Structure 1
Amino acid sequence: MTPPEDLQNIFDALPYPVFAKNSKHQWIYGNKAFDALIAVPDYIGKSDRDLFPADQVKVFWTEDRRVFGGEESINEEEIGPDVYALTRKVPYQLADGTTGLVGIIIASVTSTENFSNAKVNYEAEIEAARKRLALLHESSSQQALDLQNRLSVAEKKQHTAMEIAQTDSTTGLKNRLGFENALEASVRLSTNTAQRFGLAIVDVDHFKQINDRFGHAVGDHVLVTVAQRLTELPDVYAVARWGGDEFALLTELPMQDRDLMRASFNQALEYVFRPIRTPDRLIEISGSVGFAVYTEDAHDTGDLMRYADMALMTAKRRGRGMVQTFNQEIRDTLARRLKLARDLPDAITGRRIRPFYQPIMGTTDRKIQAVEALARWDHPELGPVSPEEFIAIAQESGLLSDLDTVILDTACREVGPWLKDRSITYLSVNASPMDIVGVDFAERFLASLEATGTNPEHICLEIVESAIVGNLEAAYRNLEHLSQAGVMIALDDYGTGFSNLRALLDLPLDKLKIDQSLIQSIGSNNKIADLMTSIMQLADTLQVNVVAEGIETKLQAAFVTSVGCHLMQGYLFSRPQSFDSLSKWLTANEIRAA
């Protein structure tokens, strides 16, 4: 990424370091001030992992992921040994359609200029002053008094430098560095006194919506207010802004059991997250808390932070606005998740995660028209693993694209004969949302089909709306390329969100798949009939076929047939089955398309 020459000159004239990264966390630009600050030659094209320790990389990427997700960020970051920078980052759409970020370093405390050498100089000056003061200790001469003044000034400068490096500029709280120092001090105290303490991570629920709706000034006011309220809580002795909309705090623990601790924190939650008044509105807020205890839950700071974060994630999954203490259930979940994450790469490359197939039936003739390939993992030790569980891990680990490729390849090879003899008319497969907007997704997808000898016209690619709303232009390029090659495109889970009708008109869709949550309401919600009729009218306008998912009863099958759905799938006909099982099922039922 190279700006035009005149813009480059403007950036280079700025006294503030400016840089840009792509979604792979690689630097793609830096102005002269950034070059001087980072002091690393040839950093363009390199990622954080090439230049920084793993713990620093984790901090960078936590903030970067927020920005890639569309949020702005302002945070203190350690960009070198004892080099701290106050950095503002904003999302930026790159030429290839992906989202990168642009950062500007507003202020820095630099080891080579202000901090590390200054600290050494201060300490050396202090030590030298102490020695000289000792020699003159018995004298009340003016020289000794001057030396004492110099000692006080040096100590004050050192303290000021440390305070700047450990303080969050927005809230005035400790930043990560300051909190980590407080946490280490608490561990030392606990080791010496056997006194336990608690660590909580507090998250402002739906903070991005507050920023988007009311603006960043109001968002900052919310953060400052929450920060102030957290510092007012009894027994809390250290509070930090951990990053974005998350806070971390340390609290003394009276001798009470976990139920009492949870009740106490719930009361604190009500105090901290009561409505916030601005000059022109009252803003309703809520928050979630994850809590862990040293040394009951963990015996080192890394595990303690991890367990509190796991408890916070559990609180969010269970509905937000609640306190969750770390417990054995979460510990077991974590151990299971870590094992699955360790075993997942080999399971993908070894093709132990295999496609199962669910028939897609015609509504009028009740014959099988197609199959959808769905990933299934039978773990050798843990048994069948829920797709929701291992797909989430694959997505977090960056392995979802590899998993999709293996499932596509295996499915094409297995059902290829059915496609050729027209036992089924098409194979339906899924792709990860990240892939849909990837630069070369369409080319890679078609290459996989070619490698298996599969006609693109026999493939239907299912996408979800969330895959396209963030980058409609990139999604359109890929889907249009695939459509031109003959691949059918289906919008999956239709009816679960607020669909972008403009996107529906623009995308080369062939099918709408009605989400099973709507189907399950048939017979219990009188408005479903009107809604289904509206969907069918929309489908006629778009000239696409409609597939009803989640058909479990004859009533549901009869209803979707009556409103004009073309295809349906669900447990009424068959659960997802292995290739061998489905082959026997087809033979037994004699309901092939041909």
Structure 2
Amino acid sequence: LRLVTDNVPAMIAYTDAEFRYRYANRGFVEFYIGAGAAVEGKTIGELQGEQAQREIRPGIERCLAGELIHFEAKRRNVQGEEREVEVTLIPHRDETGCVQGVHTQVLDITERKRAEERIDYLAQYDAVTGLPNRRLFNDRLALAVARDKRLGTMTALLLLDLDRFKEINETLGQRIGDEVLRAVTARLRERLREVDTVARLGGDEFAVIIESVAEKAQAYRVAEKILEAMAEPLEIEGEDVFVTASIGVALCPADADSSEHLIKNAELAMYQAKLDGRNAVHHYAPDPGPGRGVRLGMESGLRRAIERDELLLHFQPKVDIKTGVITGAEALLRWRNPDLGVVSPADFIPLAEETGLIVPIGEWVLYSACAQASAWRRLGWPLAMAVNLSARQFRQKNLCEMVELALSDSGLAAGQLELEITESMIMHRAEHAITTLRRLRDIGVLLSVDDFGTGYSSLSYLKRFPVHKLKVDQSFVRELHHNADDAAIVRAVITLAQSLNLRTVAEGVENEQQLAYLAGLHCDEYQGYHFSKPLPAAEFLSLLQAKQAAGGRGGAAARGGV
């Protein structure tokens, strides 16, 4: 029995009704008294001191009265370290049911407590800067607004976004980027009162809550002080790093009637500061000018679209022209915003490109599309999934690693992922593009050149690009039967692709006439409203099932009569 108890993680002891130890395992002795010490027959006071006996005695007395006792406490070990322990006192009864003594079990829970404290800390504070995170910021802002409303004063919210911080991360690395964030935090704290709240909301965005504001000019002066502080270079590992900021200011109740409304208006002001050239302060104004308010609202919403689950994918079928069989799908991004409604990709994609938001959005699209393709494969539909890469994504150093991770996480085979890139993207720094394309090809993904014929591809380069498909741009397909030049371009692109052993896909096929012409040129695949508009995932699956039920090929309608 001693062999067993000496090797369990708990500290175990038995005391009789006179508070004398009759047994203690090795862990108990080593913690409280010291290795090798004799404990049998000695009182708690003799071994642990009178103070310990006074603290422990009430619990033991209750246990001797028949009560099971469980509590947490702080105890010092023999080395003098304060440890947190979990103590259980269990009555020991004889054959007649009378309590004769107390079994004590002690667990050292110090590390568990520290881990719990760390988890609690990280739930409310940013791990990099130590500042309150968005969750704690929201709580504090709501309290500040309520308090100032009672007092008849104002709450000022300053939202601060570091200008071009992504470039620092990309050029100097994340480690230096984190040091910059910590240095910015120090600057902010130097310029603010202790009662002011500084929070990091994520990425390069900070917030400052100023309570008991008497006039708007007071908040504006604080913002100007912050800009002045940011004008001085940050010394990071012996080097000067220059960072500027765009600051939006809004006050409650002057500019908003709730903390949520205050955040929204401060965000609009911050984006206005960026539009004004960055490194600026802008106070919220209800009317920023024709069209600008819509754009600012769109940028504000787009920054939150992923976390608010507003983005979704629709899928347009790619169809084999000869067989009419659906061979794959192109993932197309959609955005449903509760305030703006369904936003056209033509409106928000350029904005995402301009602001750099296309990088996280593009990553979301890649992961989501791979996950959907993998789900369809498990249902028996091993379709190729085409995903468009933006110019910024294509230039990312970690593009290949991101693609590999998306495939690994989803379980999708590399050969089922098709990445679409435009010819203008690969002609910009063509040699670098060739290296990237070769790395992607080595992963095993398929590569296609989108919108072919609209840019300025060099044939000498095209032969070197390790691509698998050329996509004929819909602008040429649309006017096939009304414009001889467009028809000639389509014919030339398909002929060129065939000479290079590349497959061809025609975009924007809207009628039978166009499809017949493309079939005559031996184009391999097509997509467009003639077969199907882009569909949500569930409707796309229903389409697959309907075509299968119709005999696999989908009949004349599925093939457009070809």
So what's the TM-score if we normalise by structure 1?
A: 0.46
So what's the TM-score if we normalise by structure 2?
A: 0.48
- Which is greater in Rg? 2
